[in-house]
Structure 1
Amino acid sequence: MENYNLMSWNVRGINKKNKQMLVLDVCRMNKIGIGALLERKIKGDKLKEFMETSFLGWNYYNSMRVRFCITGQEFCLTVVYGSNQLETRKELWFELANLPLPVKPWLIVGDFNAMFDPNDRKGGRSVTKKEIVDARNWLDLGLVEEMKIMGSFYTWSNNQDGVNRIYSKLDRIFCNEGWLDVFLTVTATTHWEVTSDHSVILLKQTGILKEGISPFRFYNMWIAHPQFRVTVLTNWNKTLRTKGRDLDQISWKLLRLKHELKKFNWRIVGDVVRKYEDSKADYQKTKSNLFNDPQNQSLCSAERASFLRFKRQEKIYGSFLRQKSKIDWLQFGDENSSYFHAHMKQRKKANRIASYVTEDGRVEDN
């Protein structure tokens, strides 16, 4: 998605020539490379004629599942146009929950015609629990998470006057953890156009993620390391070459200790995740060996030693995950580890500033 963008838009019919040109202009202005036009109300030969005249050279698909490849990375794109009927939409949630994916990165965009939250409608009747329960049950499966969209919260309006005006959030974007692994710098925006009562959803690549120099962070896991205390005391007790007041001396010592702890983390603590995985694999291997020869004292000692190494690395790894994710509780296991890694990716994406709105309303993303 480096050189072109992805769009999802409920155009509410494109049979008229002037509306087709307006849709084409939106695609040109936003440099659309992949576009999903929903509720086109144009079929058969007319659809073919529209594509060959307005979108010459484009590949197009009508209600098919398509796999795309962007900058060498494949991903699955699912475009949704949900039914207006609550009972009919139950089939949508079932299909989304059981959809086989040929590659892991998965993006879902479209007009769901469904409420996920009581605040998804403004004006008219209030959102009821019955309206949101099916959508929430699907989302609670944990297959995907909703992407944050910059721009208008509501994506549809009935365009009525005064107290009769209703706004709803019908158009959404969801992605899975595999998408965040590959396309962390893709951001979503929404804006209104004059040709439809739905807003346009636009996804674009905002460039390479440049994190710069990370600030110093004290990791609580260091305290559990047997060499931590010796490292700190040795560095702190060294004589300073500079002279000054007591507070100046403390400041210089802290600065020196900071650099020493950085080296301690690189050279001695090392890759916490890899060490945890290696110690776990080693412990599993020694348990398997002992199972085949349970009376072997040498294997018993090896199994005990590998267990202690694993528990030490498990404690360090747990402290690392808690601090990185800023969640206070953690119980070990593959599922919890996966959850914490996913949570850290979400925090990384949420903390990133990809664009901002100027005082005159322009969106800057450079």
Structure 2
Amino acid sequence: MAAVLEIRVKAHKAKVLANVFPGWQSLNNYSWAVNGRVWIVWDPNYYQITHIRSTPQSIHCLVNGNNGTLVCFITVIYASNSIEQRKDLWAELSSIEQIVDKRWLIVGDFNAVLYPNDRVYGAPISLAETQDFSNCIHKLQLNEVPWKGDYYTWSNKQLRTDRICSRIDRVFGNLDWMMTWGHNIVLSWTKLQKYGKNIWAPGTMANIWAKLRALRQVLKDLNKEEFKSITTKINPARQELLQIQEQINQQCTDELLCKEKQILLDIEKWSLVEESALRQKSRAKWIQLGDCNNKYFTVMIKERTNKKITRELTSLRGTKLDTPEAIKEEVVKFYKALMGSNTTSLPAVDRKTMKKGPTISYEQGVALCGDVVDEEIWKALTSSLFLQEDLEYHQR
């Protein structure tokens, strides 16, 4: 089964399918879009596909495997370049979701970015570009299916600063799909052909268990070839980056800037791979040794406990404190000085003593509480000695 997007083939020339996919059946949306936008082709020996609905930007269908193991909805999308026209697509997905009661896969070219880092170079991504797409994904509770390959799936094929790369092709699955097949890791077909073609050949294994067991060593070999000595790939890249940056400092050119960006992307990629490998190793070790009350488990708990203990503290006077009592006393003193201490009484003005001195009348108190008017401001300003001298100078 395959989907072809942006075909640019007129309806009366669609018979070319018979030559490209002999014996296969097909669906298209010529009735909705000029020259069509989407083809779905499949081999009837393996699948039976029921057409549900077509729109100018999508085709919805129900897929049944002839062996009975595959039953799911699939939506193939080739979205419009216009934000307004894509709103019809988001509404269509919300509508079709009402009748979906099985695993659902949504795949295609959405012609829209979803996250701020989905475009490099070019104009910055705005909220208007991502809002409708993001709202649709959250409303339908879709999850992106794991993938392996280049992050940016489209570019304008220009050079240097005119080049723009975006991620607009995506695959999403609903909850039922992710619970069934969401954990699968997609490997390159060329790699599997190279390493595992003999394992999956018909008739070589009697059952799935035996095939998976044989595939284990194949995947180990693949892992060694692709991910062994990751550090040896990162260190030379960093050295090359330093050399290029030194050359940029001496004489900056577009070619050097392009090389710098590419090396930074390579370093980031291999750093993430290295981090992921270390995480997997640590999890595997914990699963193997940390799930029971053995020595490894006890050591790990003790190490985590020790990280939470303050074993040494330097006081405000510069003295090093290494006993729990001294550290506790110093912390209490610090916060007492910072926050102050409690008291049974606070000093205050004695009103009786104040009344014995000069006081203002009630009318004067009311006047003090009144609003300040412009005349009072002018009077206060002109009463200043310096301002008076300045006014007299200007009057002269």
Q: Quick check: TM above 0.5?
A: no
TM-score by structure 2 length? 0.40
If each structure's helix is expressed as a fraction of its own residues, which one has the higher value?
A: 2
**Relative contact order (C-alpha < 8 Å, sep 6+): which is higher?**
1
TM-score by structure 1 length? 0.43
